[in-house]
């Protein structure tokens, strides 16, 4: 069994009072909202890659799933590092954690994914892609959701709203950058977005218009001043 959390494991030892149980310690996380805290105990296997980001930083990316899912994680592995690096360069902020684990849920979720900082959870069909049975639209959706959750690593995780009434702003920014980075990833893969372009431009316009209204009248700093 493997234990995962937001930060890398630093030690694991047998518990003296309980047979077959282990005590695992992790590196201290940066300050973050409590809803982003995550932990998994799993018998899944993983594929791993070290991706060099802009600015001479590297991040370990691990993709977890059942043994039969591992061959179908290559699509995610091929785009995750590029998407993250695109965001790093776009927002001009480093990704500060040493790793990201991306794991599928063993149960059916009522949402597509959850952006836990450094430990992202996906529905099974949103992390792996079977080229023999899945369509190009399925591949597009996989990249789109991956882009959204990676955008949250900056908007919502690194930068967090003061309170829940502004949490929608995290989603707006992540949706905007989801589209920007999905465009980038699919252009790099030479995938046509013609059928989706009008919808994408319409959503992008509404997000920017809403963000401008928010910046004009609603966003405040922690001491109540306009930001």
Q: Are strands 99-104 and 57-65 parallel, antiparallel or unpaired?
A: parallel
The half-sphere exposure of 166 on its side-chain side, counting CA atoms within 13 A, is: 16
Backbone angles phi and psi of 52, in degrees to 5: -85, 120
CA dist., res. 171 & res. 148, Å (int): 9
Q: Are strands 57-65 and 45-53 parallel, antiparallel or unpaired?
A: antiparallel
Q: Which of 149, 171, 178, 206 is catalytic?
A: 149
Beta strands in the chain (DSSP E): 2-5, 9-14, 22-26, 39-42, 45-53, 57-65, 99-104, 113-114, 119-122
171 labelled catalytic: no
Which residues form the catalytic set? 149
């Amino acid at each position: 069994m493997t234990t995962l959390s937001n930060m890398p494991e630093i030690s694991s030892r047998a518990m003296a009072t309980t047979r077959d149980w282990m005590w695992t310690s992790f590196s201290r996380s940066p300050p973050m909202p409590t809803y982003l805290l995550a932990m998994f105990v799993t018998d899944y296997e993983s594929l791993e890659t070290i991706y060099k980001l802009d600015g001479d930083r590297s991040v370990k990316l691990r993709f977890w799933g059942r043994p039969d899912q591992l061959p179908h994680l290559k699509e995610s592995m091929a785009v995750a590092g590029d998407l993250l690096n695109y965001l790093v360069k776009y927002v001009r902020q480093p990704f500060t954690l040493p790793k990201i684990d991306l794991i599928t849920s063993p149960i059916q979720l009522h949402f597509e994914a959850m952006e836990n900082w450094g430990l992202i959870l996906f529905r099974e069909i949103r992390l792996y892609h079977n080229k023999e049975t899945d369509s190009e639209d399925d591949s597009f959706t996989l990249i789109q959701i991956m882009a959204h959750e990676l955008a949250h690593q900056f908007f919502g995780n690194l930068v967090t709203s003061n309170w829940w009434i502004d949490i929608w702003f995290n989603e707006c920014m992540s949706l905007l950058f989801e589209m920007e980075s999905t465009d980038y990833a699919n252009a790099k893969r030479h995938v046509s977005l013609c059928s989706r372009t009008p919808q994408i431009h319409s959503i992008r316009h509404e997000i920017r218009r809403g963000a401008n209204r928010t910046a004009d009248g609603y966003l405040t700093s922690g001491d109540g001043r306009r930001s």
